[in-house]
Structure 1
Amino acid sequence: MTAWDEWEPYAAVLLAGGRSSRLDGIDKSGIELGGRTMLAWALDAVVDAMEVVVVGDQVITERPVTFVREDPRFGGPVAALLTGVDALLRPRAYVGVVAVDMPFLRPRTLSRLREAAFGRDGAVLVGPDGCRQLAMVLSADRLAEVRPDHEGQHNMPLHKLLADLELVEVPSEGDEHRDIDTWTDLKNL
């Protein structure tokens, strides 16, 4: 038996807030692809998480989740991530973090990220262009160590929060890395 087999299940934070300014303010989580919302696709990707917090407006879901709004509202991905982590009812060793606008993530994606993160600060999905994506698994302890105070979270770039963490880069398979930021992105799916 490997250490991975003995590893405690993870919690997940789905980032579904934000202004969606490049999509004319449309709530990304409600956009439908293949008859399902992007939130439903994101929830499928973290199906094996023991607890899920969605940072965004509350909607009806097929799965029980906790909804919260980032503090401060529209404070950016760091504020959303940390608000989501704070809303977890039961702390876990690792937290999966997924942007709701990545409809091609699958449970296998999170499994690969979890495996790469085990015993480390975390792991992040990397697209074919070498860019890090907003799909990662982070050590809860290490995240707590680099966490800024509440005022420092507002509009802090995510890369700055993660700068002191050694994240294993996990190459994307297929379209896992694709996200929907613009109407052109959506049209080109």
Structure 2
Amino acid sequence: MSPLPPFAAVVLAGGRAARLGGQPKPQLDVGGRSMLDAVLTALDGAAPRVVVGPPQPVPDGVRLVREQPPGGGPVPALAAGLAAVGGTEVVAVLAADLPFVTHALVGELRERLTGDGVLVVDDTGRDQLLLGVWRTAVLRTALQGARPHTPLRAVLSPLAVRRYRPPVTAGVPAPWTDCDTPAELARARAVAAGRLPGGKAG
């Protein structure tokens, strides 16, 4: 089996998390580490790793950039991230609030990259737009001319996208589990602490 090509990573870490008291959501703790740290760990081996969002702590070697205009939504955030990854041909694009995403899943996506990109489909059949691996140049072209607050789905819909529904082991949280509400955050923390069986928290 031929080695996988090098890849970069863009993590979208913006938003005010109004439903979580306005706290910086990526910095919230789940299982003893911030959700952003969990996502960056899953992206180990990517170079560069770029976080897009407001000023916040990031590990050494991770670049932090800001979308323009600030708060303009995922489309300008993704554009800012892609501008920072240089000439890398492949890029993983993830949300920063995926506390149970794994390095293995990122590898599975990289292995399945055909056409323009590959993204995860959850157990309800919903595309997880911020859990995928893409051809960098294709994404840059798709984003050209897109205005702030344009839905990311509209930008990605013309692309040749492969969909991957990863197997989920009983008792293990689904990798697409996110934390948008206090209830989802509380459930994710309980699952991480072993107080609840794994499963969908978001």
- Matched AA of 2:11: L
Contact 2:65-2:81 within 8 A present in 1 as well: yes
Separation (CA, whole Å) in 1 of partners of 2:43 and 2:156: 21
Report SS of the residue matched to 2:163. strand
Name the structure 1 match of 2:184.
Answer: 185
Q: What is the deviation of 1:120?
A: 1.5
Report SS of the residue matched to 1:39. helix
Name the structure 1 match of 2:163.
Answer: 169
Q: What is the deviation of 1:163?
A: 0.8
Contact 1:10-1:94 within 8 A present in 2 as well: yes
Name the structure 1 match of 2:49.
Answer: 52
Q: 1:172 to 1:26 in 2, by over 3 A?
A: farther
Q: Deviation per CA, 1:25-61, whole angstroms, max 9, x where unpaired?
A: 2111110011111111011010121210000233333
Corresponding position: 1:16 with 2:13: yes
Q: What is the deviation of 1:115?
A: 1.1
Separation (CA, whole Å) in 1 of partners of 2:53 and 2:121: 25
Corresponding position: 1:153 with 2:147: yes
**Unaligned 5+ runs, structure 1:** none
Corresponding position: 1:105 with 2:101: yes
Deviating beyond 4 angstroms after TM superposition, the runs of 4 or more aligned structure 1 residues are none
Separation (CA, whole Å) in 2 of partners of 1:31 and 1:11: 24
Report SS of the residue matched to 1:14. strand
Matches within 5 A, 1:50-129: 50-88=47-85, 90-117=86-113, 119-129=114-124
Separation (CA, whole Å) in 1 of partners of 2:21 and 2:56: 20
- Matched AA of 1:125: V
Amino-acid identity (%): 35
Q: Deviation per CA, 1:39-94, whole angstroms, max 9, x where unpaired?
A: 11011010121210000233333341110111111111111111111122x32111
Q: What is the deviation of 1:18?
A: 1.2
Name the structure 2 match of 1:25.
Answer: 22
**What TM-score, normalized by structure 2, do the two folds share?**
0.85
Q: How many residues align?
A: 182
- Matched AA of 2:132: M
**Unaligned 5+ runs, structure 2:** 169-173, 189-202
Cα RMSD over matched residues? 1.4
Name the structure 1 match of 2:197.
Answer: none
Name the structure 2 match of 1:130.
Answer: 125
Contact 1:46-1:107 within 8 A present in 2 as well: yes
**What TM-score, normalized by structure 1, do the two folds share?**
0.90
Separation (CA, whole Å) in 1 of partners of 2:140 and 2:57: 31
Q: Deviation per CA, 1:128-156, whole angstroms, max 9, x where unpaired?
A: 0011112111111211222232xx33001
Separation (CA, whole Å) in 1 of partners of 2:135 and 2:103: 19
Report SS of the residue matched to 2:185. helix
Report SS of the residue matched to 1:153. coil
Q: Deviation per CA, 1:94-143, whole angstroms, max 9, x where unpaired?
A: 110010111111111111111111x4200001110011112111111211
